C-alpha cells in the first residue's frame, strides 16, 4: 500500500488546485420540475446579491485556503495569491493548478508570476 506524503514531510513542493465561484443570494432557476400548467413561485426577499469565493486545495495536506471578494478579476485574484504567499513557507515551491480564466493570463498577472517565479509556478 502506498501512502502519500504531506508537503511538510517531503519538503519538496506543494501541489495546489485553485478555483473561484460566484455565490448568489437569489440564483436563477433555469429548469424546475413542476406540475404542468402551474407556474413555479419561489419566495425571495430583497434583490439578488453576489460575491465571489476564491479557493485553494493543497493536495498533499488537504488544507483549504479561501478568500471572499466582491467580484472576479485580476485584482481580486492577485489579492488571493498574496494570501497564499503568506500561507506557504518561503523555502518550499508551490505549483498552482489553474483553470483557463482569462485574467489568469493578464499582463498584471504575468508580472506577478515573474516576480514570484522562485516560489510559485502556474500550471
Model confidence at 102: pLDDT above 80: yes
- Enter the C-alpha cell of residue 87: 500561507
Domains, in order of start, for the chain: 7-24+35-122 (3.30.420.10)
Give the whole-angstrom CA distance, residue 122 versus residue 96. Answer: 5
- Picking from 118, 119, 89, the residue whose alpha carbon sits closest to that of residue 7 is 89
What is the secondary structure of 88-107 as a DSSP string? S-TTS-EEEE----GGGGSH
Express each pLDDT in 34-86 by its tens digit.
Answer: 777 777 777 676 777 889 999 999 998 999 999 999 999 999 999 999 999 99
Give the whole-angstrom CA distance, residue 90 versus residue 24. Answer: 36
- Helices 74-87 and 107-115 cross at an angle (nearest 10°) of 10
Amino acid at each position: 500500500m502506498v501512502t502519500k506524503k504531506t508537503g511538510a514531510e517531503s519538503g519538496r513542493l506543494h501541489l495546489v488546485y485553485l478555483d473561484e465561484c460566484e455565490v448568489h443570494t437569489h440564483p436563477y432557476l433555469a429548469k424546475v420540475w413542476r406540475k404542468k400548467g402551474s407556474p413555479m413561485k419561489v419566495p425571495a426577499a430583497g434583490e439578488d446579491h453576489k460575491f465571489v469565493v476564491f479557493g485553494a486545495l493543497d493536495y498533499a495536506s488537504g488544507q483549504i485556503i479561501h478568500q471572499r471578494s466582491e467580484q472576479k478579476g485580476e485584482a481580486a485574484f492577485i489579492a488571493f495569491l498574496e494570501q497564499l504567499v503568506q500561507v506557504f513557507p518561503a523555502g518550499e515551491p508551490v505549483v498552482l493548478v489553474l483553470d483557463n480564466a482569462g485574467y489568469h493570463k493578464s499582463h498584471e498577472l504575468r508580472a506577478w508570476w515573474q516576480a514570484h517565479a522562485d516560489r510559485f509556478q502556474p500550471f
